[in-house]
Amino acid sequence: MTNTTLETKGAGGETARAFEEFLEAFEAFKETNDQRLNEIEQRGATDTLVAEKLARIEETLDSTKRVADNLALKSARPHLAGAAASASDLAHKSAFDGYVRRGDAQRLARIEEKALSAGSGADGGYLVPAETEAAVNRALKAISPMRAISGIRQVSGSVYKLPFATGGADTGWVAETASRSQTTAPTLAELQFPTMELYAMPAASQTLLDDTIVNIDEWLAEEVRLAFAAQEGTAFVTGDGTNKPKGLLSYDTVANGSWAWGKLGFIATGAAGAFPASNPGDKLLDLVYATKAPYRANGTFLMSRATVSAVRKLKDGQGNYLWQPANGPGEWPSLLGYPVAESEDMPAIAADALGIAFGDFSRGYLIVDRAGIRVLRDPYTAKPYVLFYTTKRVGGGVQDFDAIKLLKFAA
């Protein structure tokens, strides 16, 4: 048995224990929340000690789930070595390693010139090996809720253009030998998704770069993934579209009964900054069924952790919790049978806040990645450290305005 096998089994056991602690915390949460609800029903208020106990349990619930998910993600994270690579890929990787460690750009420049690459573009820098780029993209998808649920398209240009029909083409029934009248051609329009530059600037000591045991590709991928994920995640939800993607909540919204293409429809809770006092879960059902069946089949909830805290206290008319814990580490909990993705960029419950989104995000929101991550080595700006100006281009926006609906905490 190899050390790798032992490490994997050990990590798996640690993950399982963390998830068991999460499930135990959820049972304690249900018991304490039931006590709180009974006190409210009998006395119109709950004891302060019970409320404080529930808050502590919720903190434990969140922290144990976070630990279990992080352990599951860590154990599943692939290393960059081991996969079969072509001779050109190996040459690129070796040349890139020399550039990062020693600043030797000549070999890398020759390889990119031979491959007819754009090489050192207007912003400078060289393409990272394809293996490293793939690892960064995998890591981003694993830790970014919007990437995990949205549609993703990779392009080679700076703008992705998506034609769509503003009205469906006319159709009709006809007998086999009957004449066919001409149908009206659909009216086409075009959505454009420009890609914008996103950058990170990790720093390394020369000692780290000289250490041949350190896999420099893995180090770089690990350094930039969190920085990229944080910036992307915010832009995909609230970005204004100026030098960044246009976020989901930056589009015009309208009451769902007046929905029109180009706007996102919302359902109001009927209470400013809150769920209604009576049958609050019904508003979540209204949100789900405001979404058409083809989108609902692949539906996902998106909300902040603070909103999850409020939602998981809700019950149906039979006393069953609407929110259910995940089936395993690394998986998502469910609400009304649909998965729940947590994004801290979604607003918390407040007056007029669009606090919950639901729908088929893979059809509703599109993320556009321009192929290629570039690195420019800078040994001068922050001596004795070496900076690595790392850039990628990404865009995003709504591609189907009927696929996603919002819950607005408003009267």
313 in a structural domain: no
319 located within any domain: no
SS3 90: helix
Q: Are 112 and 242 part of one and the same domain? A: yes
pLDDT tens, residue by residue, 351-394 = 999 999 999 999 999 999 999 999 999 999 999 999 999 999 99
Final residue of a structural domain among 45, 76, 107: 76
How far CA 4 is from CA of 7, 79, 131, 391, in Å, comes to 5, 12, 21, 33
Rounded to 5 degrees, what are φ and ψ at 162?
-125, 105
pLDDT at 170: 64
In contact, 254 and 260? CB cutoff 8 Å: yes
Do 89 and 62 lie in one domain? The reply is no
232, two tokens: 């992307």
For residue 130, the model assigns a pLDDT of 87
Q: Are residues 129 and 217 in contact, defined by beta-carbon separation less than 8 angstroms?
A: yes
Which residues of the chain are modeled with pLDDT < 50? 1-10, 82, 118-123
Tell me: the pLDDT tens digits for 26-50? 888 888 888 887 877 777 777 788 8
Residues 104 and 242 in one domain: yes
The CATH number of the domain holding residue 152 is 3.30.2400.10
User: Domain range spanning residue 24?
Assistant: 3-76
| Per-residue model confidence (pLDDT) at position 73 | 64
User: Judging by DSSP bridges, how do beta strands 404-408 and 159-165 pair with one another?
Assistant: unpaired
Q: Could you tell me if residue 311 is inside a domain? A: no
What is the pLDDT, as a whole number, of residue 196? 96
Kindly state whether residue 93 falls inside one of the protein's structural domains. Answer: yes
Longest Cα–Cα distance in the chain: 83
Q: Which of 12, 42, 76 is the last residue of a domain?
A: 76
Q: How many domains does the chain have?
A: 2
Say whether both 207 and 245 belong to one domain. yes
The answer on 138 and 240 residing in a single domain is yes
DSSP state string for 101-160:
HH---HHHHHHHHHTT---S-TT--EEPPHHHHHHHHHHHHHH-HHHHHSEEEEESSSEE
Q: Are residues 206 and 258 in the same domain?
A: yes
**Type and span of the H or E element at 317:** none
191 contacts 161 by C-beta, under 8 angstroms: yes
